[in-house]
Structure 1
Amino acid sequence: MQPSTAVDTANHPLPDDLNGWALFIDIDGTLIDLAATPESIVVPPELPSQLMKLSQKADGAMALVTGRSIAAVDAMFEPYHFTVAGLHGAEIRRENAEILRKGIEAAALDRPRMMLQKFASRWPGMVIEDKGLGLAVHYRQVPEAAIPAAHAVDGLVKDLGYGWKRQDGKMVIEIGPAGTNKGIAVAHFMETAPYAGRKLLVMGDDLTDETMFRFANETGGRSVRVGDPPFESIAEFKLDSADTVRSWIATMVARQ
């Protein structure tokens, strides 16, 4: 099924009334525009408060689902602390409660961290992002390093053994905990209030979002892809850009 690009009121993939919806939104490439490095992204100053209002209008049934750590998300959207599935679901925070993390030791990444930094030194422009329970190799500024980076990550994942996996995204390859993904995280949220019983809406832009698209499709929800990825997506609907998502949020929170 080809993604729909309809934007009229009747067929727009994003609802004009949040009553009965549960919202799960990716961050990079979906809420905010992608940048050369993770640190150089720009969060529009009005977005944090708009997200809080959006959550309130959805009766709290909104969560951010991201590859970033929860600590990084909090820094991006301060002073607000949202419900978040971080590190592609390896850590979860429900309604400002204690963070639940995958039961693995971050110290296992000490050697991979050192090896990746050494590897990156041979590729000016490559960025190694340390997520605590994960490591990300960003090669957006050196696309010719894609294959060598994949080989380096594959070797380290093999050495780490059980409990770890390789995760690919847009111009990034990650090492992270196995047995987790965004789809599993969304399923976890949907089992309990305030999400249970609501119609599911998921929004994302990257390969890592395909698992939550699949879960939404299989459970009668709505899957919305943002932008044009370099792969065939299973999302049912398509939006042009993160700016379109932000415009929708601004419209929704401005309504009385």
Structure 2
Amino acid sequence: MSYQEHPKEDEHASARSAEEILSRLTLQPGHWALFLDIDGTLIDLADTPDGITVPPDLPENLHLLSLKLGGALALVTGRALAYADRLFAPYEFPLAGLHGSERRSSSGAVSRIETGEAFEELKAALAEEARAWPGVLIEDKGSAVAAHYRQAPEQRKAVEAAMPRYLDMAGPDFTLQRGKMVAEIRPARAGKGHALKAFLDEPPFKGRKPIAIGDDVTDEAMFRAANELGGRSIRIAETEAATEAKFTLPSAHALRTLIAALADTGKSVSA
């Protein structure tokens, strides 16, 4: 099957094309590098950040697939590096956390964007104001801070009105990142697209074409980077949404099924 120029015209054809793209990971393991978001992509979303469940076979399947790719598999997430590692223990993959504010290369070297005392004061002020927003969860990520309103969608206007004000307090070195029922202030120098490109400058990713998979507006920069570099972009989308991803899969479960099949070459690659 050839790649479709306009895959959104046929959702089923787009999914089949995404399956074909992923099947090439083991057919041409030295040609591709795989970049994966976590929440909503590898694992199902939950009402709270700590409410997610990692399927027991997922860490092992990712490890086996990484081995087949010569280690050219990285996680690119809004989660902090340490938290993401706990999700996939005992394995530690190359990982960009906090949308690229911190990054661990395949060599194990970790780099971080440091914030400072003023940002700590900002986070405390935001947490204090959020006491007036019942159901809103303020997540302190270290060099980033997020306001989640999935449990209180009626608080969206309050959150969306306040976060630009806190961004002004943070200054020009920070940016406001919006996602699925969350608004986050993070360092402006970070970004999933920048993280993907940084990995591709290093072995074992260097010289390969990227396949980027995500589910949210926070992953659009990663999709753009993959497209610009001649790679492939896949969005996990239960419903149609505007995206720069060229292909889609219907759910995180569908992706996990494909990863399990790719980890075990004796299985058929079918979602």
Distance 1:235 1:8, change over 3 A: closer
Match of 1:140 among 146, 150, 165: 150
Note closer, same or farther for the CA distance 1:199–1:15 as it changes in structure 2 (3 Å cut).
farther
Q: Which residues of 2 match residues 44-83 of structure 1 at below 5 A?
A: 44-83=55-94
Match of 2:115 in 1: 104
Secondary structure at the counterpart of residue 125 of structure 1: coil
Quick check: 1:234 aligned with 2:266? Answer: no
Work out the CA distance in 2 between the residues paired with 1:226 and 1:148. Answer: 29
* TM-score, with structure 2 as normaliser: 0.88
> Structure 1 stretches of 5 or more lacking a match?
none
Determine the structure 2 residue equivalent to 1:162.
172
Q: 1:178 maps to what in 2?
A: 188
User: Is 1:224 matched up with 2:234?
Assistant: yes
Q: Where in structure 2 are the equivalents of 1:79-94 lying within 5 Å? A: 79-94=90-105
**2:137 corresponds to which residue?**
127
| Residue in 2 that maps onto 1:12 | 20
Query: 1:46-75: per-residue Cα shift (whole Å, max 9, x none)?
Result: 111111111111110000000001011011
Unmatched runs of 5 consecutive residues or more in structure 2: 1-5, 267-271
1:82–1:96 Cα contact (<8 Å) kept? no
Matched residue type, 1:46:
D
Quick one: which of 20, 45, 49 aligns to 1:34?
45
Instruction: Provide the rounded CA distance (Å) in 2 between the counterparts of 1:201 and 1:56.
Output: 16
Change (3 A) 1:134 1:229: farther
Q: Which amino acid aligns with 1:154?
A: P
| Cα contact 2:18–2:248 (8 A) shared by 1 | no
C-alpha distance in 2 between matches for 1:129 and 1:71: 14
| 1:175 match: secondary structure | strand
Equivalents in 2 of 1:90, 1:236: separation in Å?
A: 26
Which secondary structure state, in structure 2, belongs to the residue aligned with residue 36 of structure 1? coil
Higher helix share: 2
CA RMSD of aligned residues (A): 1.9
Counterpart pick for 1:115 among 125, 135, 138: 125
Shift of 1:210: 0.3
Task: Work out the percentage of aligned pairs sharing the same amino acid.
Answer: 44
**Cα offset for 1:180?**
1.6
Once residues 115 and 54 of structure 1 are traced to their aligned partners in structure 2, the CA distance between those partners, rounded to angstroms, is 43
- Corresponding residue of 1:194: 204
2:184 match: secondary structure: strand
Q: In the TM superposition, what whole-angstrom CA distance separates every residue of 1:177-205 from its partner, at most 9, and x where no partner exists?
A: 11221001101111221112212100000
Residue identity opposite 2:20 in structure 1? H
C-alpha distance in structure 2 between counterparts of 1:166 and 1:176, whole Å: 7
Hey, what's the Cα distance between the residues in 2 that align with 1:8 and 1:207? 23
d(CA) in 1 for partners of 2:154 and 2:107?
41
Q: Is the 8 A contact 1:133 1:177 kept in 2?
A: yes
Tell me the CA shift for residue 149 of structure 1: 0.6
* Structure 2 Cα separation of the partners of residues 83 and 200 of structure 1: 14
**Greater shift in the superposed pair: 149-158 or 242-251:** 149-158
Alpha-carbon distance between aligned partners in 2 of 1:8 and 1:83, rounded to the nearest angstrom: 28
Cα distance in 1 for residues equivalent to 2:180 and 2:88: 23
Report how far residue 163 of structure 1 moved.
1.1
Q: CA deviation at 1:104?
A: 2.9
TM-score w.r.t. length of structure 1: 0.93
